[in-house]
Structure 1
Amino acid sequence: MTVIHLLSGATGFIGGAVVLELLRDPESEVYVLVRGQDPAQARRRLCNALTAAATAYDATPLWKTGEHRVHPVHGDVETALWGLDLPRALPGGVRYIWHCAATLHYELHRAERIDSVNHHGARHAIDLARRLGAQLNHMSTAYIAPSRDDGVLVEQPAVEQDAAPATPYHHAKIRAERAVVESEIVWRILRPSFVVGHARTHAATHHAGYYAMARRLTIAARRHLVPEGARAILPVPPDATINLVPVDTVARAAVAVGTLGETGTVYHLANAEPPTSRSVLEALFAWTDLPRPEFGPPGEARLPGPAGALQRYLPFFRVNQLDLDHTRRVTGSSAMATPLAAADLLAYLDCYKATLQAV
């Protein structure tokens, strides 16, 4: 029996991986919202993005055999009902809407656009789900989750005052979650953590998060001379964790919980065995040819030269853990565990560098 999906954000990192994962079910037909000057350009953008994703994730045979089941739909999440001319734009019987589109910008001067895409885009998705009678799987972010007294981030709806760090990106994501939770539609909220490339190939199609840290540190290292013997002291508990999770783990879990999971539920798409803050920061400094950092309490912090480039990311290295109970009830306990050794942490960055050199 054919299952019809409608997905936004397929030209992005997570959305493209989710499309490929949906194609593993031969009964799936995937309609994909794509921006463009016209339908022809939108089709080209989609084909190029998914071909690149399939290549990066060693999934070219899957894409070649399933491409005919992916249907571009010209539209934009920033417009009412995503700009779709209903009912002509879609077939009847759409079962799932996957809202993966988002902007990852966080700067204050971009706040209006961030809210338009990340908050109002979700409101338009809610209206579309209501009109189509479809279930909405809303892609959010783990770092707006409420925390328990022990610091663990839990699979519960976001609360505004829990946002840390407080950026326009996080606030827009919180408002989007609140709109989903308060709607009368059938919904699930999916929250990925810091997504990196494919677990086996280490390749990625987008370079935010971990890659942005490496990029900022590299640029800063070029601009600042580090006195011989000077080492940064980072205000980070070295045995805390930062939740880096491979994109294929995220996509598999998303499709599992999005089609089999209980509705009205929040699911974390995160690594059950994340690397320690020490291992990730040491990999970043080693890859950038900077002296290995030390760790200490905030009062002893010293961020000389290049290390200051990581200032805004350091709060993410202080998270104890992400609750995964809801997700693992669907996926099983081992599916979310992807240990990342030091060699993996460096391999992701090497693939990133190779991508830049190929452009």
Structure 2
Amino acid sequence: MNIFLTGATGFLGGKLVRGLAEQGHTLYILARNMNKASELLASIDTNDASIHIVQGDITRENLGLSSEQLEDLTGEVDVFYHMAALVKFDANLHEELHQINFEGTRHALETAKLVQTKRFLYVSTAYTLGTREFGEEMLYPITGPFNNPYEESKCKAEHLVFQYEKHFEVLILRPAIIIGDSETGEADSQFTMYGLMRSLEVFKKKMERKQKGSQVFRLLCEPDSTQNLVPVDYVANVLHEAIVFGEDGAIYNITSSTPPNSIIALTIICERLGIDNITAAPFEDEHRLTGEERSLNDMISVYRNYLTRNIQFINKNTAAMLKQAGKQVLKMDDDMLKRIVRGYEKSVK
């Protein structure tokens, strides 16, 4: 099968590419950074696969491909994965997020149409639901409301994808919070859980320098909130199975049915980092925080909306697809989370 991929040099993309290569598919990998593409290629056993690196950029029309390249690809692409995205939650990045996540998706769709792709798989996020507390496998209104411009840009891109149904089959795959490998803990990410861990580590060192390592600090977190964490290998597996078993026009929530409680997850993280002076406190305590506690909570403010909620995600479509493939949905437990957290050092090298 001939497969074109954007975002293949990223955390999730690299895992997916390795699996596809092992099955002997012909891969066309769009890469802006050729050094990263070369590193990815060097890490893959290509004995049974044919891998072509195509230099380009999702922010450019036709992904920056020449007319000759487009002609060579026309009629040759069975599956088009669009994974490339900017994963940042800062409000001041609204325009940049729109350009990469929305306009970049438009460029990918137009290119897929030009080369007569048969099937387009868009990797979105489970958090296009915005401020809702119930996540369904359906399109959400583009009016939100959203917690940040990242969620908004991805939701608008989902609506755009479905405007191309007359040109090729479309599927939307929505991972929750992607973390390391479920068995090895290995990761290659500086975002989401790893960004939180890095901030906690920085705060710890700052307090040690001030000789306040024994003082207890409060981190705001609702006691009943949960963290919908999904290992990268599980997400890559779902994306892989969608080639054969995914249904045209379907949306798949790649989420955990047993997400860990936020305080339990925080406890596991702090134990791994050797932090014993940070404790969770409900948001009703916010007005009583000390200056240093405010500094701690400001450091992780972009994660605030993910520490207050217990979102219930429906993943019936994903479960049905995996059943067809003879596989099961994710069952996250504390032992798996501990294995993944132990891989933190690998993610920050």
**TM-score bracket for this pair, using the shorter chain length:** 0.7 to 0.9
- Structure 2 residue runs without a partner (length 5+): none
Contact residue 257 and residue 327 of structure 1 kept, 8 A: no
Deviations 1:63-84, CA, capped at 9 Å, x for gaps: 3145742111111111111122
Give the counterpart of 1:138 among 122, 131, 148.
122
- 1:230 Cα deviation (Å)? 3.3
User: Aligned AA for 1:97?
Assistant: F
Pairwise mapping of residues 171-320 of structure 1 onto structure 2 (< 5 A)? 171-183=152-164, 184-185=166-167, 186-224=169-207, 228=214, 230-232=216-218, 234-238=220-224, 240-288=225-273, 289-291=275-277, 293-296=279-282, 298-301=283-286, 304=293, 305-317=295-307, 318-320=309-311
Counterparts of 2:215 and 2:303 in 1: how far apart (Å)? 24
The 3-state SS of whatever aligns with 2:143 is helix
| Contact 2:23 2:48 survives alignment (8 Å) | no
- 2:123–2:173 Cα contact (<8 Å) kept: yes
3-state DSSP class of the match of 1:94? coil
The answer for the alignment partner of 2:16 in structure 1 is 18
| 1:248 maps to amino acid | D
Letter in 2 for 1:124: H
Is contact 2:176-2:228 (8 Å) kept?
yes
1:17-36 equivalent positions in 2, closer than 5 A: 17-26=15-24, 28-36=25-33
Q: Structure 1: 5+ residue runs without aligned partners?
A: 37-41, 53-62
Cα RMSD of the aligned pairs, angstroms, is 2.6
Q: TM-score, normalised by structure 2?
A: 0.85
87, 97, 100: which is aligned to 2:80?
Answer: 97
Q: Give the AA of the match of 2:21.
A: L
Q: Which amino acid aligns with 1:323?
A: I
CA distance in structure 2 between the partners assigned to 1:161 and 1:280 by the alignment = 32
Partner of 1:328: 319
Would you say the 8 A contact 1:6–1:97 is kept in 2? yes
TM-superposition CA deviations, 1:288-319 (whole Å, max 9, x none): 414352443x3234652534433331322313
Q: Are 1:214 and 1:349, in contact at CA under 8 Å, matched by a contact in 2?
A: no
Aligned residues: 332
Question: What's the offset of the Cα at 1:277?
Answer: 1.5
TM-score (norm 1): 0.83
Distance across 2 between alignment mates of 1:235 and 1:213 = 13
1:7 aligns with 2:8: no
CA distance in 2, matches of 1:347, 1:189: 29
